[in-house]
Amino acid sequence: MIISLRIKDAEAELIRQYAELHGKSVSETVREAILEKIEDELDADTYEKAMKFFASNPKTVSFSEMEKALDLQ
Protein backbone atom coordinates (compact mmCIF):
# COMPACT_ATOMS: atom_id res chain seq x y z
CA MET A 1 0.00 0.00 0.00
CA ILE A 2 1.20 3.48 -0.79
CA ILE A 3 0.18 6.37 1.47
CA SER A 4 0.77 10.02 0.64
CA LEU A 5 1.09 12.77 3.23
CA ARG A 6 0.88 16.52 2.82
CA ILE A 7 3.39 18.11 5.14
CA LYS A 8 5.25 21.39 5.28
CA ASP A 9 8.77 21.57 3.91
CA ALA A 10 10.19 22.14 7.39
CA GLU A 11 8.42 19.02 8.68
CA ALA A 12 9.68 16.96 5.76
CA GLU A 13 13.22 18.14 6.39
CA LEU A 14 12.94 17.31 10.10
CA ILE A 15 11.72 13.80 9.28
CA ARG A 16 14.46 13.32 6.66
CA GLN A 17 17.17 14.43 9.11
CA TYR A 18 15.79 12.22 11.86
CA ALA A 19 15.70 9.21 9.52
CA GLU A 20 19.24 9.91 8.36
CA LEU A 21 20.46 10.27 11.95
CA HIS A 22 19.08 6.80 12.74
CA GLY A 23 20.24 5.20 9.49
CA LYS A 24 16.72 4.54 8.24
CA SER A 25 14.69 5.53 5.24
CA VAL A 26 12.00 8.18 5.58
CA SER A 27 9.40 5.52 4.78
CA GLU A 28 10.68 3.21 7.54
CA THR A 29 10.86 6.09 10.02
CA VAL A 30 7.29 7.23 9.34
CA ARG A 31 5.95 3.65 9.37
CA GLU A 32 7.62 2.91 12.72
CA ALA A 33 6.37 6.18 14.24
CA ILE A 34 2.78 5.52 13.20
CA LEU A 35 2.80 1.91 14.40
CA GLU A 36 4.43 2.90 17.70
CA LYS A 37 1.75 5.57 18.25
CA ILE A 38 -1.02 3.04 17.57
CA GLU A 39 0.56 0.47 19.91
CA ASP A 40 0.95 3.08 22.67
CA GLU A 41 -2.72 4.04 22.41
CA LEU A 42 -3.82 0.39 22.44
CA ASP A 43 -1.63 -0.25 25.51
CA ALA A 44 -3.10 2.80 27.28
CA ASP A 45 -6.63 1.59 26.46
CA THR A 46 -5.85 -1.89 27.81
CA TYR A 47 -4.41 -0.33 30.99
CA GLU A 48 -7.51 1.83 31.51
CA LYS A 49 -9.80 -1.18 31.10
CA ALA A 50 -7.68 -3.25 33.51
CA MET A 51 -7.70 -0.47 36.11
CA LYS A 52 -11.49 -0.11 35.85
CA PHE A 53 -11.86 -3.87 36.30
CA PHE A 54 -9.49 -3.85 39.26
CA ALA A 55 -11.40 -0.96 40.86
CA SER A 56 -14.57 -3.04 40.74
CA ASN A 57 -12.81 -6.24 41.85
CA PRO A 58 -9.64 -5.33 43.83
CA LYS A 59 -8.49 -8.90 44.45
CA THR A 60 -4.77 -9.53 44.13
CA VAL A 61 -2.66 -12.68 44.22
CA SER A 62 1.01 -13.19 44.98
CA PHE A 63 3.48 -14.38 42.39
CA SER A 64 3.71 -17.80 44.03
CA GLU A 65 -0.09 -18.11 44.06
CA MET A 66 -0.16 -17.28 40.36
CA GLU A 67 2.50 -19.92 39.67
CA LYS A 68 0.41 -22.51 41.48
CA ALA A 69 -2.77 -21.48 39.68
CA LEU A 70 -0.98 -21.80 36.33
CA ASP A 71 0.71 -25.06 37.41
CA LEU A 72 4.18 -23.57 36.89
CA GLN A 73 5.77 -24.92 40.06
Determine the pLDDT at residue 73. 75
Question: Residue 57 — pLDDT band, cuts 50, 70, 90?
Answer: very high
Residue type, 51: M
Helix residue ranges, H only, 1-73 = 9-21, 26-56, 63-69
* Closest C-alpha to 15, from 2, 25, 6: 25
Report the alpha-carbon distance of residue 13 to residue 20 in Å, rounded: 10
List pLDDT tens digits, range 3-48: 999 999 999 999 999 999 999 999 999 999 999 999 999 999 999 9
